[in-house]
Amino acid sequence: MLRYLNQCSRGRGAWLLMAFTAFILEMVALYFQHVMMLRPCVMCIYERCALFGIMGAGLVGAIAPKTPLRYGALLIWLYSAWEGVRLSYEHTMIQLHPNPFVTCEFAARFPSWLPLNKWLPSVFVASGDCSENQWSFLTLGMPQWLIVVFSVFLLIALLVVIAQPFKPKRRDLFSR
């Protein structure tokens, strides 16, 4: 299995699949916001940024999967998935154990060199309350589902990193 994961990390298909999966999840988030009229909170916006990081890692990995650029994509993927798990867990704790002293911020804070909330306010401006559970499916709220999603991304990323030293087998058509 590790050889197979190494082989997949050296091709564009797996990287593009990862980017496409993150893109679909971003589109679902925008559907929830603009069609179902759910108001995203600051933690939701930060979780979106983590998903954009995973999508970016997939695109970076797809550019040149057989070069050392692949390792940069793996680092972006690991960091984004880890931050996604951390943010989703923190968001879940805010929802499950509401406390007037532990709340989220009123507005997302982005660096001055990357003001996403000013460049694309329809995606990156928060208007909801972090402690409010606006949606659930199979008794789990959105941040709980995001823990699952980011954990899967993180687990796969860790397996791909572990698989890097395992060289793919060369298959020769006429070997014994």
Active site residues: 41, 44, 48, 104, 130
CA distance 64 to 77: 15
CA distance 147 to 130: 15
As a whole number of Å, the end-to-end CA separation of the chain is: 22
